[in-house]
Amino acid sequence: MKAILFLLIPLLLLVTAYFIMQPSVNANSLYHIMTDSTKNLQGKSMENKVVKSEEEWKKELTPEEYRVLREKGTERAFTGKYDHFFEKGVYKCAACGNELFSSDHKYDSGCGWPAYWTALAKDKVILKEDRSFGMVRTEVLCAKCESHLGHVFDDGPEPTGQRYCINSVSLEFEKK
Ligand code: FE
């Protein structure tokens, strides 16, 4: 009888230990699944972004493109290549190629820069409050590479009433 007990007790301890260990193993594997999926989600959101160092941008862009796109500069009014340009096509970001505006939404505002009453889609651009030069304006940035494009104002034509005032140098036209 004693011999059986000596065998049974360690066996019971082993079985108990096994069941105690189970939840922690499950919790661990769950933790790994969660962190892996978080990594994937982050990876996916980063895939749509173009992230480069300022050194890289400097190498890729002309000095004027760099000044406007990366340092939030403004080209001189009435000098941009798309100010009085009305061919049919799509305007892409000059830094990353993201399609931003359509000739269908372009109009002659007379302001000295290309003007559009809407972007191609809401998620193509980022709008950000800009309080530089003692004014409150809304800056327009490329959603993909966060380069500066221009500003948006509330004095545009119908149907939106908006005027996306964009630097030509920030854009690259593609005929369609
Ligand atoms: Fe871009």
Q: Is residue 61 predicted with pLDDT exceeding 80? A: yes
- The pair phi, psi for residue 95, each rounded to 5°, is -90, -40
Domain extent, residue 88, equals 54-175
Question: H-type helices in the chain, by residue range?
Answer: 2-47, 54-60, 63-65
CATH at residue 168: 2.170.150.20
Domains: count for the chain: 1
- What pLDDT is attached to residue 22? 47
Q: Is residue 97 part of a domain?
A: yes
Q: Is residue 34 part of a domain?
A: no
Q: How confident is the model at residue 121 (pLDDT cuts 50, 70, 90)?
A: very high
Q: Are 83 and 169 in contact (CB under 8 A)?
A: no
Q: How confident is the model at residue 9 (pLDDT cuts 50, 70, 90)?
A: low
- What is the 94 CA–ligand 1 centroid distance (Å)? 7
Predicted TM-score of the model (pTM)? 0.74
- 151-171, pLDDT tens digit by residue? 999 999 999 999 999 999 999
Q: How confident is the model at residue 48 (pLDDT cuts 50, 70, 90)?
A: confident
Q: Is residue 1 part of a domain?
A: no
- What is the 7 CA–ligand 1 centroid distance (Å)? 72
Active site residues: 165
Average pLDDT estimate for 120-132: 97
> Residue 157, preceding bond cis, omega within 30 degrees?
no
- What is the 166 CA–ligand 1 centroid distance (Å)? 13
Instruction: Give SS3 for 142.
Output: strand
- 83-110, pLDDT tens digit by residue? 999 999 999 999 999 999 999 999 999 9
- What is the 141 CA–ligand 1 centroid distance (Å)? 8
Phi-psi map region of 30: left, alpha, beta (phi>0 left; psi -120 to 50 alpha): alpha
